Amino acid sequence: MLTRRLKKEIQMIQEEELTNCNAYPVNDNLLKWEGYIIGPEGTPYEGGKFYLNIEFTDKYPYKAPNVYFTTPIYHCNINSQGGICLDILKYNWSPALNVIKLLMSISSLLSEPNPDDPLVTSIASEYKENKEEHDKKAKEYTLKHAME
């Protein structure tokens, strides 16, 4: 069942022709994928290409995959190890969700950080208290780490 589900998701991704994100198995291993998100327009991440690792367990689709950024990013909901604080990766996962919806949710997090539920409190404080400085640092990180 897991194999069939993941193959169906690959087909959905290919048919969707996504423009701002993508995901695919690494070395034909259905349980280990690489994905990326293009930084949304109008954000300090604009134009950056941020890579992710997506690892599925035998509990998928009933348990969220393990997802983390491999591209460094300056964000209050993403730590230096690439860990992501996002409700659907924790307690709000549902088997109705899929990789496309997951990528869209992470992209939304880049557009709309949640400083009230941060993984990095110092960045969250800066976001709330000095957004201009926050955005400047986030843009510098993007230019340094996410431009190809």
CB 29 within 8 A of CB 53: no
Given the residues 85, 99, 119, 124, select the one marked as catalytic: 85
21 catalytically annotated:
no
Residue 51 to residues 41, 83, 128, 134, 147: CA-CA distances in angstroms?
A: 17, 12, 26, 21, 11
Contact 18, 3 (CB under 8 A): no
Residue positions annotated with a catalytic role: 85
